[in-house]
Structure 1
Amino acid sequence: MAEMGLESFRFSISWSRLIPNGRGRINPKGLLFYKNLIKELRSHGIEPHVTLYHYDLPQSLEDEYGGWINHKIIEDFTAFADVCFREFGEDVKLWTTINEATIFAFAFYGKDVRYGNCTTGNYCMETYIAGHNMLLAHASASNLYKLKYKSKQRGSIGLSIFALGLTPYTNSKDDEIATQRAKAFLYGWMLKPLVFGDYPDEMKRTLGSRLPVFSEEESEQVKGSSDFVGIIHYTTVYVTNQPAPYIFPSSTNKDFFTDMGAYIISTGNSSSFVFDAVPWGLEGVLQHIKHRYNNPPIYILENGSPMKHDSMLQDTPRVEYIQAYIGAVLNAIKSGSDTRGYFVWSLIDLFEVQVGYKSSFGMYYVNFSDPGRKRSPKLSASWYTGFLNGTIDVASQDMTQLQRNFSGSSSL
């Protein structure tokens, strides 16, 4: 990372590793692991950007009261956050409370989605209950930080959402209206409470009593509780008012999308092994948030392109993707978006939730058959290093010359 010139590294803290039972006793080995990691990053001039929750709920809390569908999670999450702020906060200036809160709520608490598989309980309501409790837990942790730690540690705290680019499938009025509904459900579900203290009108009209209601006190706590918004973006999709194939074909969960009254269609060849590069889609997301949600500070927390995991180090499509998307972010900044940071997903090949080791996002190839997990830089690592140190201009790049200059070896 230091050789590449990275200024920041984003990682998450495992609640279960730090506090195995969800509350109470702290695991000293887990605590030491994260302290050493943060110390090592700082020693190389790399700022840690820490996510508190990336879907690893301690099993004991799930068994005890059902996790995120129970209001009790707010107190336990806040206590966990308190430990993190106290133990690591002197060296951490950027905190994200919950990763991809939107997709976590509708995918993990919807019927028959593989990793949630909510076949028991009232999934038509639990999606929104979980989302509601995430907002309240985020606000509780944020308010704790501001009251107890911010004056000394001087950090910032935010929440992240999964934000597909959304564009109408046709020029029809129905598809345009469906696209606006989709933006309300997929962006506004979290962003409107964070900025204005309440859910989008489109959701309130559609869901009625299934959508939880903020008390006046809760509304005030949630409103303004994010110093920044984290955006996780990979590609853009079409939105139509008519039934169509889903972008998530492995899921039979249609409840959230039925509520949304809009259907999502791939723009072309997106799959587990490749995403369509639609950089103007990310620019559109940033512009929409700027205009609709008072232009909050934004960090792009994940952006990258998968490729089949093999020994090919010449990952030219990934280079072209990253180059185009960084260009789109720069365009948005020039147009007034308060975007302050960008993270490529990911530094190295790793286990992906949907497909395991079949595809990968890494700029470094990892040989998973090697006991030492040997790592080799890909072309994208070379390009990104050049971009960070100023020898590569994102606006113009001779890809053929870059490939010639690439020193990576196919000997892995």
Structure 2
Amino acid sequence: MGGRLPLFLPWLLLLLSSHAVTAISFTVDDFPDGFAFGAGTAAFQYEGAVDEDGKSPSIWNTYAHSARNPNEHSGDFASDGYHKYKEDVKLMKDIGLKAYRFTISWSRLIPNGRGAVNPKGLQFYNDMINELVKAGIQVHAAIYHLDLPQILEDEYNGWLSPRIVDDFTAYADVCFREFGDRVAHWTTMMEPNIIAQGSYDVGIVAPGRCSYPFGRDCTVGNSTVEPYLFLHYNLLAHSSVVRLYREKYQAVQKGIVGINLYSLCIYSLTDSAEDIQATERANDFLFGSILHPFLFGDYPESTKKAAGARLPSFSSYESELVTGAFDFIGLNHYSSIYASNNPDVSKMPVRDQAADIGALFRETRDGQAAIQYPPGSMVDPQGLEHVLKYIREKYGNISIYIQENGRPDDSLMDVERIDFLKAYIASTLKAIRDGADVKGYSVWSLLDLYEMFGGYKAHFGLISVDFKDLRRQRQPRLSAYWYSDFLKNNVAIQVENGEATATSHEQI
């Protein structure tokens, strides 16, 4: 059942105690002033109410109802956040969150994709934002996460057309106008660098487009071209929104706007020149496809060479538009992988984006080579440090928010999840001490959601949700109590060799 968090649960902390000599010990006070510790959700995975109060179908709704959806359920009810957000904001306040990152559903706010705003959708987001403000929680809003209104997909193939730039900019304008007086932290897109492959190459994410032999049972798509069209128009749409915000809103609203990337630490499998080059190409595709245009107005040379004419070119106007078009970068970081050179690429008469990278990926040095989506299940806290160092050294010391980090754990006594979070938070602090400009860290996720891979069976939440009960009752897990003690009670974390333990502050 749901409920408020107790002020303290010392008996639970005893379960996490250790007498080991530690490599690092810290409290929340060791992080920079203003550092935003939070947790997140996403609209489709959280809200439910799929056809309620004027919401129209999104591409994710359509895909989830198709035969190609790998999950058992469609997610129509999700965590019922549309009706239970007030209860959830109370739980956030009890945990002590400084920030909450959620996404706005385009098809709930503007059901036709452009034009009239849905008053019920507008009221929902206004009411939820007001609850967050009243609770003293920073509002971190993301404008888009895989829920393009289906009507725009049907009209002009959505993100594959330059028409998306104007429609997305107009949608963002509504968000800034209606919510910007209370929202000062905006993320335009979630994970476009990996969605390009998942949605338009292998076709296992909405809208599920791909072509033989690269994808799985797709009826429409072109895996060789469409991932690059998506990336290109995504970058232009994001940059158009940033320009809009800076010219029309930023001076008054005093906010910031950025973009989110899926993050992996990619290690070279061996010290051979071929594997090192393959790792560099993989990093160029994963990070450089977005960050390089922001810094230099063009795609990385390795990406242009691999994709050739299939990668659109920036006009001089577009190059100027994308350059510098961010105030921060958000990272969704979970794991690490090993990369090795793929010698078979040169023999392929036709290549998709995955083949263009020219690398094979492994979970371990001894594991079977495989290209997969999403890649990475290795628990490697040091990998986050490596990523932050890589970005700083290659692209400069840009402002970064860790917007998602977590792991699934079904148990209410989720000690393994707690150890995971402690180790990654410790790595975040180490990176900051090494010079990285990291300004926030958010757990994925606040509560159990309908997951892209796993449906209702993958439980990432600090708060458990009973998906077998239509009331979707909430119950805090041990991790929620631990996070609360870290944020509110100054409990210290100790970590040794990537393994985390905790004792009360008074014992250190």
**Same fold by TM (over 0.5)?**
yes
* Relative contact order, higher structure (CA 8 A, sep 6+): 2
Q: What number of residue pairs does the alignment pair up?
A: 390
Question: Following the alignment from structure 2 to structure 1, what is the Cα–Cα distance between the partners of residues 373 and 225?
Answer: 30
> Which residue of 35, 57, 74 corresponds with 2:165?
74
Q: CA deviation at 1:109?
A: 0.8
Query: What is aligned with 1:265?
Result: 362
Structure 2's unaligned 5+ residue stretches are 1-91, 212-219, 345-349
1:44-193 aligned within 5 A: 44-113=135-204, 115=206, 116-119=208-211, 120-193=220-293
Query: What is aligned with 2:299?
Result: 199
Code of the residue aligned with 1:294 in structure 2: it is: G
Query: What is aligned with 2:40?
Result: none
Query: What is aligned with 2:396?
Result: 294
Q: Is the partner of 1:192 in helix, strand or coil?
A: helix
Identity of aligned residues (%): 46
> Which residue of 88, 97, 113 corresponds with 1:22?
113
Q: CA 1:121–1:361 in structure 2 vs 1: closer, same or farther (change >3 Å)? A: closer
Q: CA deviation at 1:370?
A: 2.3
Q: CA 1:16–1:196 in structure 2 vs 1: closer, same or farther (change >3 Å)? A: same
Question: Following the alignment from structure 1 to structure 2, what is the Cα–Cα distance between the partners of residues 91 and 124?
Answer: 42
Code of the residue aligned with 1:353 in structure 2: it is: M
Matched, 1:317 2:416: yes
1:272-283 aligned within 5 A: 275-283=377-385
Q: Is the partner of 2:225 in helix, strand or coil?
A: helix
Matched, 1:382 2:484: no
Contact 2:197 2:354 in 1 (8 A): no
Query: What is aligned with 1:218?
Result: 318
Structure 1's unaligned 5+ residue stretches are 245-252, 403-412
Contact 1:38 1:91 in 2 (8 A): yes
Q: CA deviation at 1:153?
A: 0.1
Contact 2:403 2:441 in 1 (8 A): yes
Q: Is the partner of 2:491 in helix, strand or coil?
A: coil
Question: Following the alignment from structure 2 to structure 1, what is the Cα–Cα distance between the partners of residues 427 and 464?
Answer: 26
Per-residue CA deviation, residues 94-134 of structure 1 (Å, 9 max, x unaligned), is 00001001111121011443541324343211100110000
Question: Following the alignment from structure 2 to structure 1, what is the Cα–Cα distance between the partners of residues 343 and 430?
Answer: 34
Q: CA 1:183–1:130 in structure 2 vs 1: closer, same or farther (change >3 Å)? A: same
Q: What is the TM-score when the length of structure 1 is the normalising length? A: 0.90
Q: CA 1:265–1:396 in structure 2 vs 1: closer, same or farther (change >3 Å)? A: closer
Code of the residue aligned with 1:203 in structure 2: it is: T
Q: Is the partner of 1:313 in helix, strand or coil?
A: coil
Contact 1:136 1:218 in 2 (8 A): yes
| RMSD over aligned Cα atoms | 2.2
Q: CA 1:112–1:24 in structure 2 vs 1: closer, same or farther (change >3 Å)? A: closer
Per-residue CA deviation, residues 300-352 of structure 1 (Å, 9 max, x unaligned), is 11000112x3xx21111100100000000101101111110011000111110
Q: Is the partner of 1:371 in helix, strand or coil?
A: coil
Q: CA 1:242–1:213 in structure 2 vs 1: closer, same or farther (change >3 Å)? A: closer
Query: What is aligned with 1:250?
Result: none
Contact 2:494 2:501 in 1 (8 A): no
Code of the residue aligned with 1:57 in structure 2: it is: L
Matched, 1:348 2:444: no
Contact 2:307 2:353 in 1 (8 A): no
Query: What is aligned with 2:217?
Result: none
Q: CA deviation at 1:276?
A: 2.8
Question: Following the alignment from structure 2 to structure 1, what is the Cα–Cα distance between the partners of residues 269 and 246?
Answer: 43
Query: What is aligned with 1:408?
Result: none
Q: CA deviation at 1:209?
A: 0.9
Per-residue CA deviation, residues 211-250 of structure 1 (Å, 9 max, x unaligned), is 1111111111101110000111100011111479xxxxxx
Code of the residue aligned with 2:165 in structure 1: it is: I
Code of the residue aligned with 2:401 in structure 1: it is: Y
Q: Is the partner of 2:180 in helix, strand or coil?
A: helix
Contact 1:275 1:306 in 2 (8 A): no
Code of the residue aligned with 1:117 in structure 2: it is: R
Question: Following the alignment from structure 2 to structure 1, what is the Cα–Cα distance between the partners of residues 301 and 188?
Answer: 25
Code of the residue aligned with 1:169 in structure 2: it is: L
Question: Following the alignment from structure 1 to structure 2, what is the Cα–Cα distance between the partners of residues 291 and 23?
Answer: 41
Code of the residue aligned with 2:444 in structure 1: it is: W
Contact 1:96 1:160 in 2 (8 A): yes
Contact 2:200 2:222 in 1 (8 A): no
Question: Following the alignment from structure 1 to structure 2, what is the Cα–Cα distance between the partners of residues 74 and 44?
Answer: 35
Q: Is the partner of 1:131 in helix, strand or coil?
A: helix
Q: CA 1:59–1:229 in structure 2 vs 1: closer, same or farther (change >3 Å)? A: same
Code of the residue aligned with 1:375 in structure 2: it is: R
Contact 1:163 1:232 in 2 (8 A): yes
1:366-381 aligned within 5 A: 366-381=465-480
Question: Following the alignment from structure 1 to structure 2, what is the Cα–Cα distance between the partners of residues 396 and 123?
Answer: 44
Q: CA deviation at 1:174?
A: 1.5
Q: CA deviation at 1:208?
A: 1.3
Moved more, 211-220 or 74-83: 211-220
Question: Following the alignment from structure 1 to structure 2, what is the Cα–Cα distance between the partners of residues 112 and 383?
Answer: 38
Matched, 1:361 2:460: yes
> Which residue of 97, 102, 105 corresponds with 1:11?
102
Contact 1:275 1:305 in 2 (8 A): no
Question: Following the alignment from structure 1 to structure 2, what is the Cα–Cα distance between the partners of residues 32 and 216?
Answer: 41
Query: What is aligned with 1:405?
Result: none
Contact 1:243 1:263 in 2 (8 A): no
Q: Is the partner of 1:90 in helix, strand or coil?
A: coil
Q: CA 1:196–1:394 in structure 2 vs 1: closer, same or farther (change >3 Å)? A: farther
Contact 1:290 1:337 in 2 (8 A): yes
Q: Is the partner of 1:186 in helix, strand or coil?
A: helix
Contact 1:326 1:394 in 2 (8 A): no
